[in-house]
Amino acid sequence: MSLTESILEGNRLALARLLTQVENDSLEGRTALAELFLHTGGAHLIGVTGAPGTGKSSLVNQLALYYRRNEDKKIAIIAVDPSSPFTGGAVLGDRVRMRDLSGDNGIFIRSMASRGAVGGLARTTASIAQVFDAAGFDIIIIETVGAGQSEVDVARLAHTTIVVEAPGLGDDIQAIKAGILEIADILVINKADRPGVENTERALRSTLELAHPTKRVFRHHGQAMSASTNMNSDATMWIPPINKTVATEGKGIPELAESIARHEAHLRQSGDWAARDRARLGSELEAVLREALIGRFLESVPQKTYEEIVEKVMNRNISPYEAVKFLLNGI
């Protein structure tokens, strides 16, 4: 039986093996991915992002438990953590997961060190999500630390993006500064057992009001979406709800699951589900095409010629634009 067949049949060992291949961007991984892609499109991708220590891992753990207990769904968790595995939060979160979720075949957890991603963080994460999707996982939760552009790129993969805040991180909300609020479909104030919840909620609400409504209608995940699917009725407008949770005690988790379900229903009814799929796959196609074209082009240029041109650019004899003109039009 081929690797692809084993994975389609739900073999966890084969799945784990392929995930490693995909992380290493190996030929075997690429081949299997190409076959598996035809079986994707069934999963709901949920991104969970926010500053370190806000309780993302704890929250993801609780959500997965909730789904396993209340719905007949298979859950995959992809934890993308750029920090060293020895810093507090990630390890604690992972330990919580291990204890509560181990031994359940309906759950698969994959941790990914961003440094290890050969083909780039966002792309590797996308590929890993595709493997889970093809393997029949209904919900794929991707946890990222909301710190930079690569995290925003990862969030862009998701159908539903949850931004996690916690009270007491300072008067300014970290995510607002980082522009992360813009990508939120659902806001969570976790650690609602801590003081300062009202202040955090007030700050989030006023920021949301500023952003609402026109901006969110026409821009989603930083990409302009076709206005036609969104313009006609108020029913298609999504206003990010604010959920309060205490992840350590499982409080607020059913309500959060409810927000997620409402968002999925909204995406499907408004046509945004298909629009996001199209935008995401379109840019993936474009990235692959770009890489292939550059590869093909470089094969046609003698190494020596190429290096001479790089040298000329370095010596400020010509600009990069002129260099490209040279290269494309022959010399």
Ligand X SMILES: Nc1nc2c(ncn2[C@@H]2O[C@H](COP(=O)(O)OP(=O)(O)O)[C@@H](O)[C@H]2O)c(=O)[nH]1
Does position 93 interact with Mg ion (CB under 5 A)? The reply is yes
DSSP 121-148: HHHHHHHHHHHHHHTT-SEEEEEEETTS
Does position 190 interact with ligand X (CB under 6 A)? The reply is yes
Nearer to ligand X, 131 or 180 (CB): 180
Q: Which amino acid is at 161?
A: T
120 binds, among Mg ion, ligand X, none (CB under 5 to 8 A by kind): none
Q: Which amino acid is at 119?
A: G
**Class of residue 63 by CB neighbours under 10 A (exposed 0-12, middle 13-18, buried 19+):** buried
175/178 Cα distance (integer angstroms): 5
247 binds, among Mg ion, ligand X, none (CB under 5 to 8 A by kind): ligand X
Does position 259 interact with Mg ion (CB under 5 A)? The reply is no
Among residues 44, 56, 110, 263, the one that binds ligand X under rule CB under 6 A: 56
Count of residues in contact with Mg ion, rule CB under 5 A = 4
Nearest CA to 126 out of 80, 187, 162, 164 is that of 80
Does position 25 interact with ligand X (CB under 6 A)? The reply is no
Nearer to ligand X, 83 or 283 (CB): 83
| In the complex, least distance from residue 186 CB atom to ligand X, rounded to whole angstroms | 16
Nearer to ligand X, 52 or 241 (CB): 52
| In the complex, least distance from residue 129 CB atom to ligand X, rounded to whole angstroms | 19
Residues in the chain: 331
| In the complex, least distance from residue 68 CB atom to ligand X, rounded to whole angstroms | 18
Count of residues in contact with ligand X, rule CB under 6 A = 17
Does position 123 interact with ligand X (CB under 6 A)? The reply is no
106/234 Cα distance (integer angstroms): 38
User: Is the Cβ–Cβ distance between 186 and 256 less than 8 Å?
Assistant: yes
**Class of residue 127 by CB neighbours under 10 A (exposed 0-12, middle 13-18, buried 19+):** buried
Nearer to ligand X, 33 or 162 (CB): 162
Segment contacting Mg ion (CB under 5 A): 90-98, 121-129, 131-139, 175-183? 90-98
Among residues 53, 136, 250, 271, the one that binds ligand X under rule CB under 6 A: 53
| In the complex, least distance from residue 150 CB atom to Mg ion, rounded to whole angstroms | 16
Interface residues for Mg ion in 41-70 (CB under 5 A)? 56-57
> β-strands 107-112, 139-145: how paired?
unpaired
Query: DSSP secondary-structure letter at 83?
Result: S
Among residues 55, 119, 167, 240, the one that binds ligand X under rule CB under 6 A: 55
∠ CA 307-287-154, nearest 5°, is 120
329/116 Cα distance (integer angstroms): 38
Structure-derived torsion over alpha carbons of residues 248, 252, 257, 258, reported in degrees to the nearest 10: 180
| In the complex, least distance from residue 60 CB atom to Mg ion, rounded to whole angstroms | 8
- The two tokens of residue 8 are 């389609």
Interface residues for ligand X in 226-265 (CB under 6 A)? 246-248
Binding interface with ligand X (CB under 6 A) = 52-58, 89, 92-93, 190-191, 193-194, 246-248
Binding interface with Mg ion (CB under 5 A) = 56-57, 90, 93
